[in-house]
Amino acid sequence: MINHPAADAPGAFVHPALFYRGPADYLAGVGGFVRAALTADEPVLVAVPGPRLEALRESLGGDAAKVTWTDMTQSGRNPGRILATLQEFADRHEDRPARIVGEPIWPGRSQAEVLEATRHEALINTAFAGRPASVLCPYDVLGVPAAVVNDARRTHPVVMEEGRVRVSPDHVDAAVVGADCDRPLPEPHGGAPSFAYAHGELGEVRAYAEAWARGTALSAARRGDLVLAVSEAAANSLAHGGGRGSLRLWSTVDSGPGRGAGVVAEIRDAGRLTDPLAGRRRPALASVNGGRGLWMIHQLCDLVEIRASDSGLTLRLHMATS
């Protein structure tokens, strides 16, 4: 039986990684965390992949009705959307410490998704600092690459493994993980032409993206989402990225599990991302420039890759065609 660290640190933020091996280990670790929260009359959100969600729900019996459930393969398909889901749940229960299970990485995730989910895991520590809450993140050590487990030791202050809880000696600051995630993006196969734009040319950007999207397998609704996402990114370039930028668009093919066919829009400009949480939390209604555009982009796209460099900012917006 794992002694869950949340019980030992009332009023503090706790962010443990649970390394599990097989279904029984998973149900013991995650189920124990959920039952401890319910016993303490604390609100619980469980955001895990569908098959695990159903197994947990069944193991809890009648107590399952007291838990808020979400399928992470849907709500967290884009890792950039996960943090807002967790924070909004905690905000709805400000009178009590929130207990959350979030499993952002599972077998079948693409390498690009894993990288952005790793960035998300590090940012949890920043977003929840000083809040009385616990976020337990399970990792299938038999199903994910060893590098994923190693990164989990870096993004979580506490690790739980084989019935033991200990401080992670490998834990580092979120900024270190973020810098490590800023790896060069691979060039599209066959290249892609670049469309340059400047002030007064936002309409031209939309027209270019819309004309290109009509030749893809995107549905009419998703073509509209792509054009809107590109427009928001280009508008950010004009307002915060030096007043100009460039757009590239290309299609991808189905190359295996987790890497289905889709389209990619890449926006480059001379901007800087001063707030690593921008776009990952819902902007306040009264906010004037609090990341509304990037927030909308995350809601519209299936994956958003962000890279910061000395020359500026690159956004790659992915949408699946199926």
Place of tokens 């809601």: 299
186: in domain: no
Judged by DSSP in three states, 219 sits in coil
Q: Are residues 142 and 252 located together in one domain of the fold?
A: no
Last residue of a domain, one of 181, 202, 219: 181
The candidate with the shortest Cα–Cα distance to 30, out of 41, 43, 19, 39, is: 19
Q: Are residues 89 and 198 located together in one domain of the fold?
A: no
Q: Are residues 198 and 177 located together in one domain of the fold?
A: no
Q: Which residues pair with 250 in a beta bridge?
A: 264
Q: Are residues 130 and 152 located together in one domain of the fold?
A: yes
- Supply the CATH number for residue 74's domain: 3.40.50.300
Contact 227, 203 (CB under 8 A): no
Last residue of a domain, one of 155, 181, 207: 181
What is the C-alpha separation between 269 and 230, in angstroms, rounded? 13
pLDDT number for residue 261: 86
Q: Are residues 175 and 256 located together in one domain of the fold?
A: no
Give me the torsion for CA of 185, 221, 74, 186, rounded to 10°.
-10
H or E segment at 27? Answer: helix 23-39
- The structural domain count of the chain equals 2
55: in domain: yes
DSSP for residue 188:
P
**Pairing between β-strand 68-71 and β-strand 44-48 as defined by DSSP bridges:** parallel
189: in domain: no
172: in domain: yes
DSSP for residue 5:
G
Count other Cβ atoms within 10 Å, centred on residue 9.
Answer: 13
pLDDT number for residue 106: 96
Last residue of a domain, one of 151, 181, 211: 181
The candidate with the shortest Cα–Cα distance to 104, out of 127, 73, 132, 145, is: 73
Q: Are residues 160 and 219 located together in one domain of the fold?
A: no
Q: Are residues 60 and 128 located together in one domain of the fold?
A: yes
pLDDT number for residue 163: 86
- For residue 314 the two structure tokens come to 């690159």
187: in domain: no
pLDDT number for residue 76: 95
CB-based burial, 123-144: b 16+ in 10 Å, e otherwise: bbbbbbeebbbbbbbbbbbeeb
**DSSP output for 56-106:** HHHHHGGGGGGSEEEEHHHHTSSGGGHHHHHHHHHHTTTTS-EEEEE----
Count other Cβ atoms within 10 Å, centred on residue 309.
Answer: 10
160: in domain: yes
Judged by DSSP in three states, 127 sits in helix
Q: Are residues 164 and 203 located together in one domain of the fold?
A: no
Q: Are residues 144 and 175 located together in one domain of the fold?
A: yes
Q: Are residues 153 and 279 located together in one domain of the fold?
A: no
Task: Indicate the burial class of 279 (C-beta count within 10 angstroms; 0-12, 13-18, 19 or more).
Answer: buried
What is the C-alpha separation between 176 and 168, in angstroms, rounded? 16
Give the range of the structural domain holding residue 99, as residue numbers without chain letter: 5-181
Q: Are residues 51 and 130 located together in one domain of the fold?
A: yes
> Can you give the three-state secondary structure of 252-280, one letter per residue?
ECCCCCCCCCEEEEEEEECCCCCCCCCCC
Judged by DSSP in three states, 3 sits in coil
What is the C-alpha separation between 164 and 166, in angstroms, rounded? 7
- The whole-number mean pLDDT for each consecutive block of 10 residues of the chain, a chain of 322 residues, reads 54 92 96 96 96 94 97 96 95 93 96 96 95 96 97 97 93 96 92 96 98 96 97 94 96 66 96 91 67 92 93 95 82
Q: Are residues 203 and 316 located together in one domain of the fold?
A: yes
pLDDT number for residue 95: 87
